[in-house]
Every structure is written in structure tokens, then in C-alpha cells.
């Protein structure tokens, strides 16, 4: 048994499974595509990591180290080849208050605890619960995230050096105007045009990389005065060093970091698992949710000990990778390695890249991410689904992804429960001996329990009544209590009530709850047909 479990985990984390399809081998052409895709992603990661570090109120290298370590580890052992992880804005907005109140060392300790919680979630296989996210919530998620990505790029249209870090992220700043603004817009449009046209000309070079390279070349050759990566901050640094967070090992410290760790772990897993599903739809691959939870947890635990701010999956960079042809773990590994090379050796060169080129690439990501078909189907889907799509989109933009997904799932669940609650009804009839039969149809659960009780009329019913559950299903404790309530009414009226066609699982539920005593175990294949006599309190007699 132990060998089987070990073999299963070895298969899950087998790094040799790098190809796009089972029959495809890692050819030189595929390797080239993966390398170039990784380079493209690394270039796009730099300004994102720096910007999110500013949002969290920490040094830019803290964000860059997180992007490198989280990106590398999740690329190696993550649940979906092709996904890209790093420092994200969804986590940064939660971290800012912790850093402002307690300092960056408490952030590192929180990231370590966050990783441990995520590993626990993966070991317990909680990732499977992402299946409960309805499709309208997914549509709202991608639409909201596309809008968030778009709004995040608008900050690049401000004059460098005019924004201030207030402890709640970078704010303020003067907007570009006149010739600098027109130049910036023209370069953004040129980048977008190259990204759109390049696949129609050749796929030798990833379109985003071609766009960045062409626009950067124009800016450098003609000496155009436009905002560049170096205007955000210097990205030059050394290797991340092992560092145990210098916080007191006390219960008070644990009480400070635990709430933040729980929130960060939840947000990180939700965004990562939703990204995993989205990449899975694009690459026709499934599974890996629990493995992704463990990978994210390991990555964040390690990051906390190496001076990083933690992270999770990045939908924008993941889409850039997939659109650039990246399908294997090699692309993610290369992205992380290239990012480290930028930090160690190539910072002067990378800092010359115009922000307009990166903004243009991200604008194309926005266009590709937004579910445009959701606008067309809003009038065709049920009103409740349309409201969920809009609600999740708005909450994602106004608050954050985790709250939006939770709200969307709750609203969808309540809508489903309400719709099923209205389905409960009964068809009545009489047998030859005058017995009245209620043939219950629809699920019996907490939402329909009250309606179920209202179906019966003990005062005017005959001496013997049969409740047939052949077309119904008893689901929960509220359903059991409703059956007891109906039985009690007939008992008070001095009449006999029988229950028929209760399924095997319902039979067990009734017995386990101690509501009804079972003295037979008939009909094991298709369920039990039993009678319940309210006078004796005995359930028995197969039918």
C-alpha cells in the first residue's frame, strides 16, 4: 500500500512529463518556443513585481525575489504545466496593513505560515472544492480580473517620480499630457498591433516578445523620452539569502500573523485554482488541484525564509505564456531563471525597456482574458446567472477576488436551493381500500421542508395515509425533522402514516439520526420500500 501511495505521488510530480500531448517529444523546436515564451513572461513580470512591492509597502527586490522563488517552485511541482506564479496585487493589498503596522519581518513570518496552511489544504485535498465554483462565477472572475489588469496599467501613464508611497501603496501622481502622452499611446498601439499581426506572419518568435523587442528598439535608437522600467525602481540585486524572520516566537506574534496568513492562503489558493481551471480549458488538461495547493504552499514557505513577499498564480502572465506557445514546465522554469538573471546581471538593459511595450502586451492580455461572449449571453441565460456574472465582476473590481468568488458561490447556491425548494409537491391518489397516497416529487431538504409539511391535511385525511418517496430524495436533518413533524400531526389525529420507497442512504440517515427504528434491510439493489407506523414507531416491511 505504501509503495502504491509513493508511486502515485512520484507520478504526480514527475518532471519528465513536459510535452504538450502524450505523443509529443521535447524537440529542439519545442524547446526554442518554451525558452522564448519564458523570456517574454520574465520581461512582463518585472514591472508587475516592482509595482506590487510598492503596493505592499516593501522594497522592490522583495517582490522580485518572490516572483523568482514562487515562480520557480510552482513551475517545477505545480499542478498545471504552463501556469505562471509570482507576486500578485490580490495579496499585496492584504499585506500593506500588516507591513505598515508591524514591519516587513512580520510579513516574512506570515508568508511562511501562509505556505504551511496551503500545504495542509493540499494534503487534505481541499483543492477539489474548486469544482463547486459555477460557470457564471468563472465568467465574472475572468471579466473582473481583466478589468483589474486594465486599471493596473493606467498607473504607467503617470509621470515617473510624482507618485508617493503612503503606506497603502503608490498613490497620487501627475498624468502624462501633450507629446509624452501621445508618444506613449502610439507605442502602446504599435505593441498591440505587433502582438496581433505577428502570429499571422510567423510563429518563430512569440508575438509579445516581438512587440516588446520592436518597441524597445525604436525607443533606444531614436532616444525617445518615455517612461521606462528603470523609472519605477532599480531591479539590481544579489542572490536571495536565507533569512529566518526576526520576530518574537510568542503567542502574541502568532495571534498577529494568523489572521493575515489565513486570508492570504485563501486568496492565493482561490486565485491559483481558478487560474488552473482557466489554463486547463485553454490547454485541454484537467486535474492537479491538490498538487497545485501543495506547490503554492511549498513555494510560499520557502519564499518567507528568503526575503520574498509570497505570491500565487498570475492569470495575466499565464495567458501570455500560453499564447506565446508555452505548454510545459520548461517555460515557467525559464521565466524564473531569466528573472534572476535580470536581477543579477542584466538590470541596466532591462531598465531601458519602455513601459509602453509592457502596457501594450498587458492590454492584449486584457482583450484575450475578458469573456466577450458573456455580454452576448446575458439576455439568454437565466436572470440569476446573469446577475451572478455581473455581481462577481463588480465585486472583483471593487474589493478582491476571494470575496467576489465567495459571494458568487453563495448567491449561486442560494438560487439553486430556492429553485429546488419550489419543486417540492405531491400527487395524491387513493388505493382500493380507501388509503390516501401522497406521491412526493422533488428533493426534500432545508429549503423545501416547510413546503413539504404544508402538503398534508391530517384533519381531513382518512385513517390510513401513505407517503411515497419513489420520486423524491431525503437530503438532510431538516428533511428528517419535516418527516417527524408530519408523522407527529397524524399521530395526534389518531391516524396511521406509512412511508414508502426510501432509498438506502435515506434509510441509513433515518436510522443514524435516531428518528426511526429499522428492523429490515430489504431491496439492497434499488433502495428500500418501508412502512413507518407512527403508533409503534417502527419502520419495516419491504414493499
- Judge contact between 503 and 494, C-beta under 8 A: no
Give pLDDT tens digits for 379-391.
889 999 999 999 9
Give pLDDT tens digits for 63-98.
999 999 999 999 999 988 889 999 988 898 889 889
Bigger pLDDT: 84 or 512? 84
Per-residue confidence band for 133, with pLDDT thresholds at 50, 70 and 90: confident
* Across 157-166, 246-255, 430-439, least confident range: 157-166
Q: ∠ CA 465-479-522 to the nearest 5 degrees? A: 65
| Residue 10 grid coordinates | 512520484
Asked whether the CA dihedral 491, 493, 495, 501 is positive or negative, the reply is negative
User: Cα(204)–Cα(496) distance, rounded to whole angstroms?
Assistant: 80
Taking residues 40-51, what's their average pLDDT? 90
The yes/no answer on whether domain 423-540 falls in CATH 3.30.750.24 is: yes
Phi, psi of 398 (to 5 degrees): -80, -35
Nearest to 183 by CA among 235, 134, 227, 241: 227
**Around Cβ 117, how many Cβ atoms within 10 Å?**
22
Distance (Å) of CA 175 to CA 50, 180, 509: 20, 10, 65
* Across 80-84, 302-306, 335-339, least confident range: 80-84
- Please check the confidence at residue 520 and state whether its pLDDT lies above 70: no
Half-sphere exposure of 144 (CA within 13 A, CB side): 28
Domain boundaries, the chain: 27-154+174-227+248-377, 423-540
User: Cα(377)–Cα(379) distance, rounded to whole angstroms?
Assistant: 5
Give pLDDT tens digits for 490-499.
988 888 888 8
Per-residue confidence band for 534, with pLDDT thresholds at 50, 70 and 90: very low
| Residue 494 grid coordinates | 389518531
Q: Is 86 helix (H, G, I), strand (E, B) or coil?
A: strand
- Please check the confidence at residue 371 and state whether its pLDDT lies above 60: yes
User: Cα(93)–Cα(263) distance, rounded to whole angstroms?
Assistant: 11
Model confidence pTM above 0.85:
no
Bigger pLDDT: 180 or 173? 180
- Please check the confidence at residue 468 and state whether its pLDDT lies above 70: yes
Nearest to 320 by CA among 106, 531, 71: 71
Alpha-helical (H) ranges within 78-134 are: 89-102, 104-123
Bigger pLDDT: 537 or 467? 467
Amino acid at each position: 500500500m505504501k509503495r502504491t501511495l509513493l508511486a502515485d505521488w512520484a507520478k504526480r510530480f514527475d518532471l519528465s512529463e513536459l510535452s504538450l500531448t502524450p505523443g509529443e517529444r521535447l524537440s529542439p523546436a519545442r524547446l526554442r518556443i518554451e525558452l522564448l515564451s519564458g523570456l517574454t513572461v520574465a520581461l512582463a513580470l518585472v514591472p508587475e513585481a516592482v509595482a506590487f512591492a510598492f503596493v505592499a509597502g516593501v522594497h522592490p527586490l522583495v517582490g522580485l525575489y518572490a516572483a523568482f522563488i514562487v515562480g520557480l517552485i510552482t513551475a517545477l511541482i505545480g499542478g498545471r504545466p504552463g501556469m505562471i506564479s509570482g507576486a500578485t496585487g490580490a495579496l499585496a493589498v492584504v499585506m500593506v496593513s500588516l507591513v505598515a503596522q508591524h514591519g516587513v519581518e512580520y510579513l516574512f513570518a506570515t508568508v511562511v505560515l501562509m505556505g504551511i496552511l496551503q500545504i495542509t489544504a493540499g494534503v487534505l485535498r481541499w483543492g477539489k472544492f474548486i469544482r463547486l465554483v459555477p460557470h457564471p462565477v468563472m465568467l465574472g472572475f475572468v471579466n473582473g480580473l481583466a478589468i483589474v489588469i486594465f486599471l493596473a496599467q493606467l498607473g504607467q501613464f503617470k509621470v515617473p517620480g510624482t507618485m508617493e508611497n503612503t503606506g497603502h501603496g503608490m498613490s497620487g501622481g501627475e498624468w502624462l499630457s501633450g507629446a509624452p502622452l501621445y508618444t506613449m499611446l502610439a507605442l502602446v498601439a504599435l505593441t498591440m498591433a505587433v502582438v496581433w499581426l505577428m502570429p499571422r506572419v510567423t510563429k518563430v518568435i512569440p508575438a509579445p516578445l516581438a512587440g516588446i523587442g520592436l518597441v524597445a528598439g525604436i525607443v533606444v535608437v531614436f532616444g525617445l523620452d518615455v517612461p521606462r522600467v528603470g523609472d519605477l525602481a532599480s531591479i539590481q540585486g544579489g542572490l536571495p539569502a536565507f533569512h529566518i524572520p526576526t520576530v518574537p516566537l510568542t503567542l502574541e506574534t502568532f495571534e498577529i500573523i494568523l489572521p493575515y496568513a489565513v486570508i492570504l492562503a485563501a486568496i492565493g489558493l482561490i486565485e491559483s485554482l481558478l487560474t488552473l481551471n482557466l489554463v486547463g480549458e485553454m490547454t485541454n488538461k484537467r486535474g492537479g488541484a491538490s498538487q497545485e495547493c501543495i506547490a503554492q504552499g511549498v513555494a510560499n514557505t520557502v519564499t518567507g525564509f528568503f526575503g520574498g513577499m509570497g505570491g500565487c498564480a498570475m492569470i495575466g502572465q499565464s495567458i501570455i505564456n500560453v499564447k506565446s506557445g508555452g505548454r510545459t514546465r520548461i517555460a515557467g522554469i525559464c521565466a524564473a531563471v531569466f528573472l534572476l538573471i535580470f536581477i543579477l546581471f542584466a538590470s541596466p538593459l532591462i531598465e531601458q525597456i519602455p513601459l509602453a511595450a509592457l502596457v501594450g502586451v498587458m492590454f492584449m492580455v486584457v482583450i484575450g482574458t475578458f469573456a466577450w461572449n458573456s455580454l452576448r449571453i446575458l439576455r439568454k441565460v437565466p436572470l440569476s446567472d446573469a446577475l451572478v456574472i455581473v455581481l462577481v465582476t463588480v465585486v472583483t473590481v471593487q474589493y478582491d477576488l476571494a470575496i467576489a468568488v465567495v459571494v458568487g458561490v453563495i448567491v449561486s447556491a442560494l438560487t439553486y436551493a430556492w429553485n429546488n425548494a419550489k419543486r417540492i409537491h405531491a400527487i395524491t391518489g387513493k388505493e382500493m381500500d380507501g388509503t390516501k397516497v401522497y406521491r412526493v416529487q422533488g428533493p426534500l431538504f432545508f429549503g423545501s421542508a416547510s413546503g413539504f409539511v404544508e402538503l398534508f391535511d391530517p384533519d381531513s385525511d382518512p385513517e390510513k395515509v401513505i407517503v411515497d418517496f419513489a420520486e423524491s430524495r431525503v437530503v438532510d436533518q431538516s428533511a428528517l425533522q419535516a418527516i417527524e413533524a408530519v408523522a407527529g400531526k397524524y399521530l395526534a389525529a389518531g391516524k396511521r402514516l406509512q412511508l414508502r420507497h426510501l432509498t438506502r442512504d435515506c434509510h441509513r440517515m433515518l436510522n443514524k439520526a435516531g428518528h426511526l427504528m429499522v428492523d429490515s434491510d430489504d431491496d439492497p439493489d434499488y433502495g428500500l420500500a418501508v412502512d413507518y407506523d407512527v403508533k409503534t414507531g417502527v419502520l419495516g416491511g419491504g414493499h
